[in-house]
């Protein structure tokens, strides 16, 4: 719906034209920027009409919804399932190429062969801190490697979707990767330097810890809000009772 044509201002013989369609004459202008616009370039606003560009700019300035921890709300656990798929694919690749565990596994500082060079994180192979989290122990389908990835992926599916919705995709992925790196760093500092370590356990335990902490903070925030509401209600009731006239009757 557009406003009816306005009368020509006194002293102005040449009518203005639409800023987007110079061939269209119009006396109607945008209440926000003041530019004249034809009915096709105007949109109804709470007060008057605004041009399409002002409406678009106002929409871009609208604050986007955020989760309680600052992330963008998500409806699906896309990152969780992507991580599960990546771990499974690399496990299958590792079965076909067992040397991948030696090349990417977490190793402090040691030789992988009798006469080979020293390898590991201390030798500058920092990528092992993260790549080792995507490879289970290379023991085949009937050994520890299969059980390791089975348990870790089950745990990731259990905790991942709810935590991803709580944090948002970017923060969830950051927590996963930082937990994986943290697990690698901890093993590098306290574990044997000549022993390989593989698996996503460090990343998964980091997700569990983040979920427990997040739910604890959410519960504390809810409890604090309820407590403040109760105190406010009690104070309001107390002040109302003090102001209300009444009569006390003693029985006895």
Q: What tens digit of pLDDT does each residue of 13-36 get?
A: 678 889 888 888 888 888 888 888
**pLDDT for the residue numbered 115:** 83
Element (DSSP H or E) covering residue 42: strand 42-44
Angle (nearest 5°) at CA 206 between 175 and 199? 105
pLDDT given for residue 250 in this prediction = 38
Q: Mean pLDDT for the chain?
A: 80
Exposed/middle/buried for 96, CB within 10 Å: 0-12, 13-18, 19+?
Answer: exposed
Give the Cα separation of 75 and 66 in Å (integer): 13
pTM above the 0.85 mark? Answer: no
Q: What is the pLDDT of residues 172-193, one digit of tens each?
A: 999 999 999 999 999 999 999 9
Q: Which residues, including other chains, have CB under 8 Å from residue 58's CB and lie 6 or more apart?
A: 50
- Residue 138, number of CB atoms within 10 A of its CB: 20
Reported as a pLDDT band with limits 50, 70 and 90, residue 220 is confident
pLDDT confidence of residue 29: 86
Kindly report, residue by residue over 102-158, the tens digit of the pLDDT: 899 999 999 888 888 999 999 999 999 999 999 888 665 556 778 889 999 999 999
Instruction: Please give the CATH number for the structural domain made up of 78-217.
Output: 1.20.1540.10
Report residue 113: phi and psi, to 5°.
-140, 165
Give the model's pLDDT for residue 247: 42
Distance CA 227, CA 221 (A): 10
Report the DSSP beta bridge partners of residue 29: 36
- 198 within 8 A of 107, measured Cβ to Cβ: no
Which pLDDT value is given to residue 245? 45
| 105: nearest Cα among 93, 92, 120, 123 | 120
* Domain range annotation of the chain: 15-56, 78-217
Handedness of CA 80, 216, 152, 124 (dihedral sign): positive
State CA 10 to chain mean position distance. Answer: 58
């Amino acid at each position: 719906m557009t406003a009816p044509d306005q009368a020509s201002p006194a002293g102005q013989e040449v009518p203005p034209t639409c800023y987007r369609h110079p061939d269209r004459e119009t006396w109607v202008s945008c209440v926000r920027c003041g530019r004249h616009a034809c009915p096709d370039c105007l949109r109804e606003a709470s007060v008057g009409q605004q041009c399409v560009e002002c409406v678009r700019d106002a929409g871009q300035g609208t604050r986007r919804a955020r989760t309680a921890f600052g992330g963008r709300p998500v409806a699906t656990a896309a990152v969780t399932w992507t991580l599960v798929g990546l771990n499974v694919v690399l496990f299958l690749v590792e079965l076909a190429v067992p040397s991948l565990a030696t090349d990417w596994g977490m190793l402090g500082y040691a030789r992988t062969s009798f006469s080979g060079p020293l390898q590991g994180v201390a030798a500058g192979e920092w990528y092992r801190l993260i790549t080792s989290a995507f490879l289970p122990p290379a023991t085949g389908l009937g050994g520890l490697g299969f059980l390791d990835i089975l348990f870790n992926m089950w745990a990731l599916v259990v905790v991942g979707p709810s935590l991803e919705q709580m944090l948002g995709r970017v923060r969830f992925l950051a927590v996963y990767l930082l937990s994986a790196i943290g697990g690698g760093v901890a093993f590098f500092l306290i574990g044997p330097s000549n022993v390989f370590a593989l698996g996503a356990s460090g990343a998964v335990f980091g997700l569990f810890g983040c979920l427990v902490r997040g739910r604890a903070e959410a519960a504390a925030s809810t409890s604090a809000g309820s407590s403040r509401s109760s105190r406010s209600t009690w104070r309001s009731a107390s002040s109302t009772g003090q102001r209300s006239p009444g009569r006390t009757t003693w029985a006895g």
